[in-house]
Structure formats: C-alpha cells, structure tokens
Structure 1
C-alpha cells in the first residue's frame, strides 16, 4: 500500500515537472519568435529604405545574400528570397508599427539608420494600433506563416483574422493554407441558423456563430457523381479521413462516433456523425444529406437533439447543437423550417473534390476518358 502511495507521489511529481518544462519551452519559443520577428522587421526596413530609394544597383539583394553566406558560413534563413520577404513583411506592417504609411517622402527619414556607417536598430515590435491580445497573437506566429498570410490576403482585417486564429489554434503551415483556401474569414457566422431564438446566453450564442461555417470544403471526399451517391458513402469517406474533416470543421471539435446509437422507447435511432466541441461545451450532431435541404430534416434533427440532451448530455454541458450538412439549400425554406423549432441548429453546405469551378470545367478530361488514357 505504501509503495503504491510512493509511486503515485512520484507520478504527480513527474507530471508537475513535465508541465513546467513544457510551459517553459513554450514561453521560450514565444520569446525567441518575438526576437526573430523584430530582427526580420528591422532588416526588412533597412532593405526597403536602401532599395526603394534606388541607392543600390541591380541584383543588390542577391549579392548581399551571397556575401552574408561568406561572412557567416552555414547561415540559414537569409537567402535572396528570404531577405525580399523580410522587406515585404516590413512594408506590410510599418504603417502600424511606425504609425505612418510607407512613402517616398519618409524613406529618407526612416527610423532605421542608413548610410555606409549606419547600423540596423532592432526594436521590440509594439504599437497602440492593436489591442494587447492581437499584438500577442501577432508576435506568437512564425515568420513563415506571416509571409503566407501576406502573400494570399491583401486586406488588413483578413490578415489579422488569420494571424489571431493561427496563434490561438496553433496552426501549422498546412492548416493555415487549408483555412485560407477554404475562406474561413468569409464563411464565419454566415450559416443559416436559429441560434438567436434558441440560445439565450449571449456569449455562448456568439461562440456558436463563430464555430460554424456557411460552407465546408471536403476536398478529401472523392466521388464521381455526388447526385447519385448515398449519404453513407460520403459518411464513410469522412470517417476514413476524420482528421481532415475535423480540420475542415475547425478547432475544438472531438469525434465521438458515426451512426451514433440512441434508444428511445426501445426503438433505435442513429445519428450520422457526433462530435463534442470544447469551446461550446456541447454535443454537435451532424446529419449528412446528399441533395437539397428539405423541411422534414429539421424535425428529425430536433428529435435527435432532444434525445441527446435527455440521455447523453452531462449536467454541466450546454444543450446539444445540430448541423444539417447538405449539397444545397434555399434560405427561405430553411427559415420556415426553423421557425418553431426549439433546439439550436443550422444548415451548411459542402463541396467535394469532384466539383471543379466553372472556369476549369472542360479543361480536364472526363473520368472515363482519363481512365482510358492511363
């Protein structure tokens, strides 16, 4: 008995020390990243002043990069492309950090010293233009992801949106590219729903609106004829690629199962997909439909949500939320179907890999022709 207590004590000690080490590493990584961004911003500013003011000749940045490699053998991250990206980074954000736009008039008076004997002043990136939490997120995102956002998004609001979400969700490069390709910014909060009348708590309602998108890109689902495919086929491909589907849903979703069994009055019912969302602290039931939304779908989902709240939901959790994921929908039909429903639900659409944009249709061969060619 005593030995077990000692073992438990050691386990607690190991857990505490491990958490302290991980927390310390995380804070150290944040500090290092903060310094790296400040360095790249300062170098980018110096390069911008010199190159944009035509003080250097052609191929200056490539020459400087090569000379740096000679001065510091093994130096990484300072190729010609990388230095140009530092200039882009500076020019994208200098109006925020210097409180003035970049122009030919202020190039000569840059805060970064210039000239043959000048030096590059590395200062902490701080600004009154951003709230503290947004600035913290900005400094936590790695330079590679910063550049990816700058390269794909021109609007400042969109850039800051992806920066904040990248920091909060600990997105790697692949996740960031996926969410930008899927236009997470444009789809947030646009899904037709009845949250306003079914979720009384304002904070929870706001979180629910931000947790679901109007349309989901299921580019891992590959079916030749979506209109002739049973929902179960789509469901199987989703389950087979569950990590990709969770990435499509967003952060904080945990998969609980497919064809989730409910028993009501000795009769069995099955929910297509069941998830739990940590941020919402609620069960999320998803019903898959291969065609257009129909009003009767809302009644069936309302029944499932009542059963989940009665038999599955834990006392501390919020009421379950239902999502009908279908190929198409009519907004007025959704509105009427939801009008007297008392459970929170919404209707989102999805696209699969087989659906090419109109501008690409006709360019690629048909599947049968492609098989013959192969």
Structure 2
C-alpha cells in the first residue's frame, strides 16, 4: 500500500471518528436539555399542585417565574415554554422512561398529541427509525397513525411499531392512502405515469420514509421477458420484515380490473422466477389516483393477501378527510362480515 493511499485511509478513519464523537456529543447535550426541562416542569408542577385555586395560581406562578428567568436566560423561558415544561412532566412523570434518542423539539411535538396510544406509536417509530424532528413532524402532519388504522386496529399498530411482533399481513404496512406531498407536484387533473414515477425516484428517500419500516429499493422499470414479449414493472422494492418483494405499478387514472390483472401477472412472475424458497409471496401494490373498492374486491379472490390498491394524495390530508375514510372503512368491514 502506497503512502498516499495510507494517508487517505487514515484521514477517512479519523473523519469518521470525529463525526461519530460530534454526533454523540450533540445527542448528549440534547438529552441533558430534555432532562433539565423535565426537572423544571416537575418543580413547577409540584408547586402548582400544592397551591389552592390551582388554575389561577398556576398561571400566576408561571408568569412570575418567566419574568424572573426570561431576562437572564432568554426566550426559552417564556410563559409558553415554561407551560410546555409543566405539561412535559405531567405527560412523562417518570424520568427513566424518557428516550435519549429524542430531543426537546421532538418532545414538544409529542406533548401536543392528546391520544396516549398515538403518542406511544410516534415515540416507538421515532426511536426505531431514527426520525429527525422534521421527519416526525411530517409523519404527524400526514396522519400516519390514522392511515395505518384504516387497515388495522390500535393494538396491532402499536405492537408492530414497538417491535413486539412482526406484521402478519401486507395491509399492516402498506398505507392507504399514501401521501406524496413531498414530490412537490402541482395540482392538476391528470399526470403522465412516467412523470409521477420520475418524481418518486427523485425523492426516493422521502418515498421510502412514507412506505415505512423495512423497505429497500431494488429497481425501476424492471424488464420481464415472457415468451418473446417484454413487460416493465414500474418500481420494485424489498421488505425485510415481510421477507418478500413488493412491486408497485403506478396508475394516474381510476383503477380498472385490467390494471389488477396486469399486476397479478407481474406478481406471479416474481413468485415463479425471482423469489427464493425461503422468501414469502410477492406483494403487488397498485398506486392509483382513484379506486373503486368494490371492483378491487370482486376482481380478486376472497382470500387475497398479495394484491393491494392504494390511492396516492399529492397534499397532506385533513383530519376530517381521514375520519371520513376511517368510517367508510369500518362500514365496508361490517358489510363484508355480514356477507359471511
């Protein structure tokens, strides 16, 4: 090994050591800040709880405290921030349940969540996937938890998030709808499929984050040569949790039974040619602008577990839209159970 190569390797090793130490130092400082705010919140909470006429007394205490601290320590000790610290302790009263992987900015987002199970879900996903504050905020704003509830129940969603069990079927991982606001596409009545596919490839990291746990990219426009004819699968991924290929076909129109048949052929090909014996059956996902759930239901066999249809949205859904979708899903489940 020549001197120049040795120097390069040594330099890279030291750069990695420095970067690792800096990252650990930042995490340590962030965690100490979290503990500081927890202790301040604890002290305020205990003082307020010990007083009479607690609501008014609490407001006065925090206001007076802020007037003393803010001129010395800055805006981080304003009334609003001190109230957040008090809420922080109230929601997380046990210090050793705090996570060193989460910083104060993330905890401030979590404090605002009123549903305990929802909060547990986002904590588990943040820790497991090393989400940044921006990632966590995006997932909350895109209602990830509610979208997963459309195909599962609270208990199952939380168990999968906390690694207490592996997902039992694709619907526990594949979201419907998928929110693709990060593509930055303008709202138009229609798109070419190649344009949507190209936008996804350009934002592949964000798309994988939207897909969720265990996904890795395999190929784009995968060529299948079948008896002299060529076919091309839009996107191919692999999911290590489900241990199977997950192939995506993009349709910018309303889903048809022909689309489902085409995807079924691709799934069959992967199962018979690409899949190894130790792997699970391939999953096919039709990512479409719109779908008729009844058409999907009657096109596929009753025991179907490998073909799913998911609508994409190019904007963040409102809470009202998700509630509407959730009730719609519950009605369809009841109808299916009534037919059995």
TM-score (norm 2): 0.72
1:147 aligns with 2:112: no
The answer to whether the 8 A contact 1:276-1:283 is kept is: yes
1:173 aligns with 2:133: yes
Residue number in structure 1 paired with 2:261: 299
What is the CA–CA distance in structure 2 between the aligned matches of 1:58 and 1:141, rounded to whole Å?
26
What is the CA–CA distance in structure 2 between the aligned matches of 1:29 and 1:57, rounded to whole Å?
32
SS of 1:59's partner is: helix
1:42 aligns with 2:39: yes
Residue number in structure 2 paired with 1:104: none
The answer to whether the 8 A contact 2:62-2:79 is kept is: no
The answer to whether the 8 A contact 1:271-1:285 is kept is: yes
1:321 aligns with 2:316: no
With 263-272 and 346-355 compared, the bigger mean Cα shift is at: 346-355
1:186 aligns with 2:146: yes
Residue number in structure 2 paired with 1:330: 292
Give the structure with higher Rg (CA).
Answer: 1
Alignment of 1:67-82 (within 5 A): 68-69=72-73, 78=77, 81-82=80-81
Q: 1:223 to 1:208 in 2, by over 3 A?
A: same
Residue number in structure 1 paired with 2:172: 210
The answer to whether the 8 A contact 2:286-2:309 is kept is: yes
Higher helix share: 2
Residue number in structure 1 paired with 2:325: none
Question: Could you report, residue by residue, the CA deviation over 1:166-186 in whole angstroms, capped at 9, with x for unpaired residues?
Answer: 111100011111111111111
Q: How many residues align?
A: 297
Q: 1:183 to 1:355 in 2, by over 3 A?
A: closer
| 1:291 positional shift | 2.2
Question: Structure 1 unaligned runs (5+)?
Answer: 70-74, 98-124, 127-134, 193-202, 360-374
Residue number in structure 2 paired with 1:346: 308
| 1:285 positional shift | 0.5
| 1:341 positional shift | 7.6
SS of 2:275's partner is: coil
What is the CA–CA distance in structure 1 between the aligned matches of 2:304 and 2:44, rounded to whole Å?
60
What is the CA–CA distance in structure 2 between the aligned matches of 1:215 and 1:188, rounded to whole Å?
9
1:62 aligns with 2:66: yes
Question: Structure 2 unaligned runs (5+)?
Answer: 52-56, 153-164, 322-340
TM-score (norm 1): 0.66
